[in-house]
Amino acid sequence: MERVTTSDPAPAREDEAGTDRPILEVRDLTLRFGGVTALDGVSFEVGRGELFAVIGPNGAGKTSIFNCLNGVYRPQEGTITLDGERLVGRAPAAIAAMGVARTFQNLGLFEHLTLIENLMLGRHHLMRTGFGTGMLWWGRAKREEVRHRAAVEEIVELLELEPYRRMPAGLLPYGVAKRAELGRALAMEPSLLLLDEPVAGMNLEETEDTARYLVEVRRELGLAMILVEHDMRLVMDLADRVLALDFGVAIATGKPSEIQNHPAVIEAYLGGAR
């Protein structure tokens, strides 16, 4: 994980049944909308348990990367490999079932359902797509239900959501609702979590809380995360490595300290100069 350039593909490692291999490998991703090139040959990889951040000015292609990863957009060129399985061309639901979960820039909770019910919905999605359908599922439903409730309660505890369990999501304070949304994504038991601006609209205290919960989630669950975020301080505090995009091009990949001082990144953020 010491490589800073993104141009050379990672050597395929055969050791220990591939456990050292990155969980996600993105190679030469190109996405166009008519004349607009949203992503231009972007390559990067995310290690197991790594917190990987994607930064860049507005329009740089951050959301487009997420939408390629979760199957909402289909790139014209390039490959995306999750744990050795190719993702390009699969439907969003299939990709979610393979273990890619996301949170949204705007809240994606069902307002009239309680917090617990919202988290259970994350599980039901997993259940339907992961365990087969019909009679097989029906026969196991009771046992499944118990298991799913237990999994949800673990997440409630991890994110300190106990006081809000029975509250309709629409009544949750904003910071808590964002945390509940994180909880619902975690309820899917993802192997890769995509976080789209998790502190957007938060005050300083809520932002610091979120950072703390992300650190906690990472320590307890050890899943890989990709963070798209405007709050540069949060990115620099939390990320193991950062990919900086500008006009769809990966201009730098490296440790936060390397990215912060990278001339091309500084130039992209000063912007007006071009």
Ligand X SMILES: Nc1ncnc2c1ncn2[C@@H]1O[C@H](COP(=O)(O)OP(=O)(O)O)[C@@H](O)[C@H]1O
Binding site for Mg ion (CB under 5 A): 63
Nearer of residues 40 and 206 to ligand X, judged by Cβ: 40
β-strands 85-86, 77-82 pairing: antiparallel
Residue type, 86: R
Residue in 23, 26, 38, 195 binding ligand X, rule: CB under 6 A: 38
Interface with ligand X, residue 244, by CB under 6 A: no
Taking each helix axis as running N to C, give the angle between helix 174-187 and helix 204-221, from 0 to 180 degrees, rounded to the nearest 10: 20
DSSP class of residue 255?
Answer: -
Q: How far is the CB of 265 from ligand X (least distance, A)?
A: 14
Of 59-67, 79-87, 150-158, 164-172, the window that binds ligand X (rule: CB under 6 A) is 59-67
Interface with ligand X, residue 35, by CB under 6 A: no
User: CA dist 249 to 18, 29, 271, Å?
Assistant: 29, 10, 15
Which residue of this chain has its Cβ atom nearest to Mg ion in the complex? Answer: 63
DSSP class of residue 58?
Answer: T
User: CA dist 150 to 87, 123, 139, 171, Å?
Assistant: 30, 11, 19, 24
In the range 140-169, which residues lie near ligand X by CB under 6 A?
Answer: none
Query: CA 236, CA 38: separation in Å to the nearest integer?
Result: 25
Interface with ligand X, residue 33, by CB under 6 A: yes
Nearer of residues 61 and 198 to ligand X, judged by Cβ: 61
Print the binding letters for residues 60-99 with ligand X: x by CB under 6 A, - otherwise: xxxxx-----------------------------------
Interface with ligand X, residue 102, by CB under 6 A: no
Q: Among residues 61, 167, 82, 160, which one has the least CA distance to residue 116?
A: 167
58 binds, among Mg ion, ligand X, none (CB under 5 to 8 A by kind): ligand X
Residue in 24, 46, 56, 122 binding ligand X, rule: CB under 6 A: 56
Nearer of residues 22 and 61 to ligand X, judged by Cβ: 61
User: CA dist 189 to 98, 119, 124, 125, 233, Å?
Assistant: 10, 11, 11, 11, 28
Q: How far is the CB of 196 from ligand X (least distance, A)?
A: 9
Query: CA 67, CA 18: separation in Å to the nearest integer?
Result: 27
Nearer of residues 140 and 230 to ligand X, judged by Cβ: 230
Query: CA 134, CA 17: separation in Å to the nearest integer?
Result: 34
Catalog residues that contact ligand X under the rule CB under 6 A. Answer: 33, 36, 38, 56, 58-64
